[in-house]
Structure 1
Amino acid sequence: MNRFIALYLSLLSVFNIAVEAKIDRNAPHGHTGILTPYSPGPFSLKLGNKDESELLKGNSVMKQLPPDDPKESLGGKAICVQDVQAPKRAVWRQILDVDSYQGKVNKVKKCKNYKVIKNPDGTVNFKTEMVLGVMPGYSYTNFYNHCYHQEQDSVTWSLDYDKSSDFDDVAGHWHVEDHPSKPGCSRVFYACDLKVKNALPKPIMNFLQKTALKQATAWVKKESEGNPEDAIPSQYLK
């Protein structure tokens, strides 16, 4: 049975590579957005005493939210909160340095900016190709259009609809603020709404909807606390 499973996963991987080779990634995505985009700035999220207790222990707190469309089943909506024993600038260094994600972020097989644009209003758009390998046979290539809002301490993003991604749509939001009671520390909020094109096995959806959110804030916490003197990359500053 184990040999059969190994062979099955191997065939899935080969099939995935074959399908990947046929996709024209420079073709338009097919639509220009389905999910509701996030606005930069603080989340309107209330944390209770139990939540604060978990954060104090160093754990993250995740809140599942209803999807924009109650009939939607091919995706999810959640917010993850994490306290970090490092200042905001160190946290932003880790989030914005996307070219260094590979090797630090679990399941990320490739992550590279292909365009960075400073806008007249002080925001910065950075477009990123990311390859996520969840398990053999399940690898996802997506192109993201992020926008760093320095004054609002936020990054919001969607897909880059000028390119073809494997996910149907994504809407995301990082927000970093000073910790409400610990000077020199930060509180990080991370939300990423996802819509896939086809139904996926439950373990894959659980990873994409839940595990990936917790891992995202966990690695940011680890790397920021390990490098508290880091600063925001100059290319993102006004």
Structure 2
Amino acid sequence: MLKTFAGKSLFITGTDTDVGKSVITAALALCLEKMGYDVAVYKPLQSGAYFEKDGLIAPDLAFVRKFSKTIACKCSYLLEGECSPALAMKLARVPFSLDTIKADFTALRKEHDIVLVEGAGGLLCPVSFENKLAMADIIQYLALPCLIVARSGLGTINHCLLTEKIAKQYGLHVNAFLLNRFPKKAAETATQYVCEELARYTDTPVVRAEELSQLTAENLAGIFQDKIERVIG
């Protein structure tokens, strides 16, 4: 029997940009919602926002809403520009505040069973040039455990271990590594053995999400059907 996850929160980070954090965040949210939880997805900072008829859109949160209209979504800093959050804020002349993020996160946690927080880029992705802050500072300030999402293939072990080393320097707890888009038939030698070889270097659980032929709510939720406890903690 699964233990209850009510009252828990998780920060989803990655070894790099474009490793599939948004897909994994949506998949986790959909799985938890299917289990009966009231889930919120929080994006502290979103650069690369775009305009539609209803105003400025956060693409990562729009992806979640595509599959569920009942999962609450919130973003504190919504910014244009395909660049780091820090640069987007500098160009827009928007001041950054950790207290704003803490207040928004705390409000969500009071209203929902579980809050999933999705980062941008990796742990050292800049969020404020003026204060020399990175994404890891936000995780540290919110005191959240994190899930590290990585690509599956050559270079994965190096990227994962570097990210974990930074996490330890910040005093962060890593619940698990998630190797994303894992091919059902791994042809490359590096991909075939990456899970067991990564496990030789770390005690952190290593799980994988197989690549999906179709992105549907059912398929996404199914990613975590047998690994939700290892990921949420």
> Whose strand proportion is higher, 1 or 2?
1
Q: TM-score, normalised by structure 2?
A: 0.25
Task: Give 1 or 2 for the bigger CA radius of gyration.
Answer: 1
* Higher relative helix content: 2
